[in-house]
Structure 1
Amino acid sequence: MEAADRTERDALEHFLDANRAAVTAVVDGLADADARRSVVPTGWTPLELMVHLGGVERHWFLRVVRGDRSDRPAHHGPLASLADATAAYRAECARSRQILERFGLDDAVSFDQPADLVGEVRTVRDVVLHVIEETARHAGHLDIPRELLDGRTGLGPR
């Protein structure tokens, strides 16, 4: 499909999936011991950020779009390793795609949003744009420890 032939929905889903792929590409092959190390002043680790990103998917698509209060993870089992966290993230992304298929971009959302985004995130379109923003930001965050931990740079499709 030519870029000019994409619908708005196709374009949004394309960029969301591209950023999701960037996240997993950056951590692919990172040693589990390194994924547990913090090399930034705030103290977070690549493993923790992967767990966070799974929560981002679950929160915005399961809770905010679908309105499901269960907060039930798509991946069952411990998140004791980077491989576990990455598998859980991929499972959340797959569930998010399934949820997104059932809603129109203009459908309203109002459930369980952070106070600073109420009024800014009003539709499914807004949710998708926000998750693109947050995923891209965290993909960049993951680039930094990866380079500091093992010197690898330029990872991912972007």
Structure 2
Amino acid sequence: MADDEKSTLLTFLHAQRESVLAILGGLGEEALTTPVLPSGWTPLGMVEHLGYAERHWFQEIVTGTADPVAWPDDHQPLTTPRSPDVVFAFYREQCRRSDEIFAATPLSAVPKLRHPSPLADDIADLRGVVLHVIEETARHAGHLDVVRELIDGRTGLGPR
């Protein structure tokens, strides 16, 4: 039963990650690095943020440790000075590492660390972590979907 649940959760997580990548597919560097909304975030900055979210929840929170990133925290939230190739590689690597941790950890495993917010009270095990990452990825995929429509009118991108 737990294997079926893990498989289902992973299917939904992968679908949301694929949506993020599909929504941004084909956009050039200018479109990826230009804010579209008044809040000032960029599509590429959102992808980097999602990479950090994967790293935070699965590596830092679940396992209690994470390798340092290859760059300093040198930017405004949800923007990045890094190139699309670097950011997309970072995101994919964090997702890959998350998948490894998810595969090796029981759903009932208690995270090694707590997230420093009231959200921590709702996340008591790996199941809660993966549900939150699905939630966050889906929310930001929706943001990216709207921005893509504003950039070039394309909608309905992604597997779902």
Q: TM-score, normalised by structure 1?
A: 0.88
Partner of 1:72: 68
Distance 1:144 1:28 in 2: 14
Q: 1:79 to 1:87 in 2, by over 3 A?
A: farther
Q: After superposition, what is the alpha-carbon deviation per residue over 1:20-73, rounded to whole angstroms, capped at 9, x for unaligned?
A: 1101111111111011111112110101101100000000000011110x4424
* Equivalent position of 1:82 in the other structure: 84
Q: Does the 8 Å contact 1:27/1:146 carry over to 2?
A: yes
1:79-133 C-alpha deviation (Å, 9 max, x unpaired): 6222321121011000111111111000111514031212111100000000000
The unaligned stretches of length 5 or more in structure 1 are 1-5
- Partner residue of 2:5? 8
Q: Which residue of 1 aligns with 2:76?
A: none
Gaps of 5+ in 2: 72-79
Residue 95 (1) aligns with residue 97 (2): yes
Any idea what SS the aligned residue of 1:119 has?
helix
Q: What code does the residue aligned with 1:72 have?
A: P
Asked if residue 29 in structure 1 is aligned to residue 31 in structure 2, the reply is: no
Distance 2:149 2:87 in 1: 20
Alpha-carbon separation, structure 1, partners of 2:85 and 2:140: 18
Q: Partner letter of residue 60 of structure 2?
A: R
TM-score (norm 2): 0.87
Count of matched residue positions in the alignment of Structure 1 and Structure 2: 150
Among all aligned residue pairs of Structure 1 and Structure 2, give the percentage whose two residues are the same amino acid. Answer: 46
